[in-house]
Amino acid sequence: MRHVSGPGALPRRGPRRPGAPRAPRCSRVWHAGHVTAELCIVVIHYRVPRVLAECLARLQRFVPDAEIVLVDTAPDDDVLAEVHAAHPGIQLVRATNHSLAHAVNIGIKRSRAPFVAFMNADVYVEPSTFDELLAVLASEPQAGIVGPLALTPRGRPQDQGPDYLFHYLRLPRAPGRSVEVPWLAGCLQLVRREVLAHCGGLDPSLRFYNEDIEFCVRARRAGFRSRLVATPVLHLGGSSTPAAAAFMVEGRRGGMQLSRRYYPPWVRRLHRAFLIAEGWLGATFAGDDTMRERYRLQLAMAWQGRFDESPFGATLQDLRPTT
Q: pLDDT digits over 266-309, tens only?
A: 999 999 999 999 999 999 999 888 899 999 999 999 999 999 99
58 neighbors 132 (Cβ within 8 angstroms): no
Do 267 and 157 lie in one domain? The reply is no
Do 230 and 294 lie in one domain? The reply is no
Cβ neighbours of residue 235 under 8 Å, at least 6 residues apart? 120, 122, 123, 124, 150, 151, 152, 158, 185, 187, 188
Give this prediction's pTM.
0.88
What does the alpha-carbon distance between residue 269 and residue 231 come to, in Å, rounded to a whole number?
Answer: 39
Count CA atoms closer than 13 A to 14's CA, side-chain side: 3
- What three-state secondary structure class fits 235? strand
**Residue 284: inside a domain:** yes
Domains held by the chain: number:
2
* pLDDT at residue 37, rounded to an integer: 76
**Residue 186: inside a domain:** yes
Do 163 and 46 lie in one domain? The reply is yes
**Residue 18: inside a domain:** no
* pLDDT at residue 17, rounded to an integer: 40
Structural domain containing residue 287: 245-304
Do 81 and 154 lie in one domain? The reply is yes
Do 130 and 189 lie in one domain? The reply is yes
Do 229 and 265 lie in one domain? The reply is no
* pLDDT at residue 239, rounded to an integer: 54
Residues 28-60 have pLDDT tens digits of 434 444 567 799 999 999 999 999 999 999 999
Do 222 and 298 lie in one domain? The reply is no
CATH code for the domain in which residue 93 is found: 3.90.550.10
Distances (CA, A) of 278 to 13, 17, 269: 38, 38, 14
